Amino acid sequence: MLVSPSGPTRPERVARGIELLTGWGLRPKLAPNAYARQGYLAGADELRAADLNAAFADPEVRGVICTRGGYGAQRVVDAIDMAAVRRDPKVVAGFSDITALQFALWRGARLASVHGPGAAWTDDRTPPRSAESLHAALMTTEPVTVTAVPGEETYPVRVPGRATGRLLGGNLCLIVASLGTPDMPDLTGAVLLVEDVGEPPYKVDRMLTQLRRAGALDGLAGVAVGQFTDCADGWSVTVADVLAERLGDLGVPVLGGLPIGHGTGQLTVPVGTEATLDTTTETLTATPAVH
């Protein structure tokens, strides 16, 4: 089932996503309110929550794919029927604002999910390798390996080492917005995934500093740094500089340059599963979110 828990989506992009999913042998089904619109939200909170709960309760639905992020998931996560999620676990895919939904599902049902492109598909940003990555994470039980790319802006962000732990996180803004809520996970022993878009370096600094001051980064096993897209401003300090400074003294391995996030060539990775980060092989390998 294709749902829109956050911002309004474009039908023509979802049509391309449906074409892609159908080509994999899946039977995409639009949630009743997938194309609803209420300002910057994909319809009223009640409608978006109802679509999520309908997907989780339907025994024929084996996967829930969010059309896009945007904003609004945090407004509905408290209305999710977690008992239904626990009774019939199914894979949930999305990223960006969907980090809030994935955190809630982890807290309420210990449900591992998939951080990857939504069903509102754009071929220019998510080329065939992106589709292949999403397909593998959704439809195979093989471990998922993502390799750092030298051309990514965050590639120089590096603290040597190897770390193993549960991969948690996603969009940095949503991680910070979860502080003080029931959904903020305990990151002790975890590998933290961070990525973002459109945030100038000083704001990335502010968010990382808030996480540090809140104690949220105490006891981390490692940090996987994805794409920080369109994060430049007029200052000479780059987002890679900020990430290296604010993550580099945590005393844990840090691997940047992972093509995970809002950039071109976005790849998919499970979240909520065990993962190993290795700066020597420049890889992040996660166990599958599906069985």
Catalytic residue among 130, 153, 262, 282: 262
DSSP string over 34-85: TT--BTTBSS-HHHHHHHHHHHHH-TT--EEEES--SS-GGGTGGGS-HHHH
Question: Which two tokens mark 172?
Answer: 């940095």
Count other C-beta atoms under 10 Å from residue 19's C-beta: 11
Q: How far apart are CA 222 and CA 213, in angstroms?
A: 18
Q: Report the DSSP beta bridge partners of residue 30.
A: 2
244 phi-psi bin (left φ>0, alpha ψ -120 to 50, beta other): alpha
Catalytic residue among 130, 153, 178, 195: 195
Given a contact cutoff of 8 angstroms between Cβ atoms, the answer to whether 128 and 203 are in contact is: no
262 is catalytic: yes
Q: Report the DSSP beta bridge partners of residue 222.
A: 191
Q: How many CA atoms lie within 13 A of 32 on its CB side?
A: 11
Catalytic residue among 96, 113, 130, 133: 96
178 is catalytic: no
Given a contact cutoff of 8 angstroms between Cβ atoms, the answer to whether 170 and 278 are in contact is: no
Q: Which residues are catalytic?
A: 96, 195, 262
